[in-house]
């Protein structure tokens, strides 16, 4: 009865004390685990924050490098366009010079041919038709030639005798 009841209550009190002690131990253990996990999460958070900051810095550097690269590409493109234009101008100038040189060579060759033909002339009257047949004188309407009896030197005396020949170009 009473002893049994006291024994039951004492057993219940001991059981409650053991459960309370166990609950406190589990609570302490849980708090330690929560604290440990909180520290882990804080460290991970700091690491992630650092990574995010690093990535932002890298992205900014990437943007700056990209802008710099684009500027360098544009500058190099301008340089190449200028160089290309200069080369095209040089090609055009060389073609003009080449054409002028060819024309000059053609004229020189024709003058050479005329001078060779002049050496074969027996009569001064044959000289003007030969000269007027030249492509260099196609646009000339009339030609005159003075034929001296001797060579007229720059600082020498004027030749005593001169014949002037005149002819009209038959090809206007």
Digit-coded pLDDT (tens) for 111-155: 888 888 887 887 777 877 777 777 777 766 777 777 788 888 888
Distance of CA 149 to the CA centre of its chain: 69
Torsion sign (Cα): 100, 106, 108, 114: negative
Flag residues of the chain having pLDDT under 50. Answer: none
Kindly report the pTM of this predicted structure. Answer: 0.48
Q: What phi and psi values does residue 125 have, to the nearest 5 degrees?
A: -70, -20
Q: What is residue 170's DSSP assignment?
A: S
* Helix, strand, coil in percent for the chain, rounding step 5: 75, 10, 15
For the chain, where are the alpha helices, taking DSSP H only?
A: 2-118, 127-132
């Amino acid at each position: 009865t009473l002893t049994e009841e006291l024994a039951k209550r004492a057993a219940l009190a001991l059981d409650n004390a053991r459960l309370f002690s166990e609950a406190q131990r589990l609570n302490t253990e849980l708090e330690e685990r929560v604290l440990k996990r909180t520290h882990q999460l804080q460290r991970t958070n700091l690491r992630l924050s650092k990574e995010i900051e690093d990535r932002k810095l890298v992205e900014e550097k990437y943007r700056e490098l990209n802008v710099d690269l684009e500027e360098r590409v544009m500058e190099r493109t301008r340089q190449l366009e200028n160089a290309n234009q200069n080369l095209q101008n040089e090609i055009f100038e060389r073609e003009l010079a080449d054409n002028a040189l060819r024309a000059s060579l053609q004229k020189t060759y024709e003058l050479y041919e005329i001078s060779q033909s002049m050496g074969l002339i027996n009569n001064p009257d044959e000289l003007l038709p030969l000269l007027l047949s030249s492509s260099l004188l196609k646009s000339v309407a009339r030609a005159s030639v003075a034929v001296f009896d001797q060579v007229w030197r720059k600082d020498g005396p004027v030749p005593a005798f001169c014949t002037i020949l005149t002819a009209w170009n038959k090809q206007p």
